A and B are shown apart, each in its own frame.
Chain A
Amino acid sequence: MKYIVEHYNYWLVIIIMMAGFYTVISRGNLIKKIAGLNIFQVSVFLLYISIGNVKDGATPIIEEGITLYSNPLPHVLILTAIVVGVATTALGLALVVRIKETYGTIEEDDIHNQDQSL
């Protein structure tokens, strides 16, 4: 029981992570693939923030009378990661638009079929 209480957070985050991973590798639609990639990304953020969390800790904004804070360093890392993540999402979606213009479809199977016929 104690083991479950200490680790349930990580397990749920890993389940979400695997949901994103499954979307990426099993779905052929490119927009949906990018949504899956984003789910994966957000779950990694959740894992990092879980590691920085401290029981009964406060948000790391220094205030008199508070002694216990959560770890601010994962927060800094993830702030950077979120912004870089949106940059990669934008790039991926731009590639999707470009693929649509060239192939006329964003379904992976159709794209493979067209490439073989060339």
Chain B
Amino acid sequence: MIESAVDITLLSLIAIHAVAIIRMRSLFAVIMLFGGFSFLSAGLFVAMDAADVAFTEAAVGAGISTILMLATLALTYAHEDVQKEEKQPTHKPWLPLSVVLITGGMLIYGTSDIPAFADPNAPAQKHVAPYYLKKSLPETGVPNVVTAVLASYRGFDTLGEVTVIFTAGIAVLLLIGGRRKSKIPFETRSNKE
């Protein structure tokens, strides 16, 4: 009972943050709310027994993502622009709203086939997971099963993940790294070219 109370409270808070992000027009507030959103979801991961995921989400999601967004905000808006607000949307919200409602309705309809939440006899819990829970300590000597799978059984996948991050790092450097900031403002530059 207490578990579902924690679950519902955290999920509702996360949903409130998400709706507030939609409604807020000050970008600084949006980014701060996003940090809170990530941190609350890290809390929810702990409540759902995923301690390693919670660590990563708190450090990477709430930490690095927020800092990256703040840095982008600093680079894209002028210092004098204290408000840093997005423009009032010009389109009517009906088309995106109906797309979202239809998609959400279909997804909720799809959940009727998913086994009950936290059901110990769900197929996902009965297939290979018991093997790792039983064998990972004798086979790898690591008590944390998530670490054992990530670094030992699926070590090559983790290497592949490092490649992905490396590629993204190179792409970011190619896009914005190693150039001096252009001193010519945008309007005059396009006239010269």
Choose one: B61, B68, B114, B169; the contact of A93 (CB below 8 Å): B68
- Give Cα A88–Cα B145 distance, bound, in whole angstroms: 27
Residues of B within 8 A of A63 (CB): 143
Q: Assess A61 versus B145: contact at CB under 8 Å? Given A7-B117, A25-B99.
A: yes
- Give Cα A76–Cα B18 distance, bound, in whole angstroms: 26
**A62-74 near B? 1/0 per residue, CB < 8 Å:** 1100001111111
Query: Main secondary structure on chain B at its contact with chain A?
Result: helix
- Give Cα A106–Cα B69 distance, bound, in whole angstroms: 13
**B44-63 near A? 1/0 per residue, CB < 8 Å:** 11001111110011001100
| Interface contact A14-B111, CB-CB below 8 Å | yes
| Interface contact B104-A28, CB-CB below 8 Å | no
Interface size class of B (residues with CB under 8 A): 35 or more
| Interface contact A97-B75, CB-CB below 8 Å | yes
Residues of A within 8 A of B73 (CB): 31
| Interface contact B161-A83, CB-CB below 8 Å | yes
| Interface contact B21-A107, CB-CB below 8 Å | no
| Interface contact A12-B12, CB-CB below 8 Å | yes
| Interface contact B76-A6, CB-CB below 8 Å | no
Residues of A within 8 A of B72 (CB): 31, 93, 96-97
Nearest CB in chain A: distance from B104 CB, A = 4
Shortest beta-carbon contacts, A-B, top 6: A6-B116, A104-B186, A87-B168, A29-B86, A19-B18, A26-B96
19 contacts between A and B (CB under 8 A): A6-B119, A29-B27, A29-B87, A31-B27, A32-B30, A39-B34, A42-B38, A45-B57, A52-B124, A53-B49, A53-B117, A72-B132, A72-B146, A79-B53, A84-B161, A87-B165, A89-B65, A93-B68, A96-B72
Q: A27-B22, A53-B48 are in contact. List 14 more A-B contacts (CB 8 A).
A: A6-B119, A10-B114, A15-B104, A22-B22, A25-B100, A28-B90, A31-B76, A42-B61, A60-B145, A60-B146, A69-B145, A79-B56, A82-B56, A87-B165
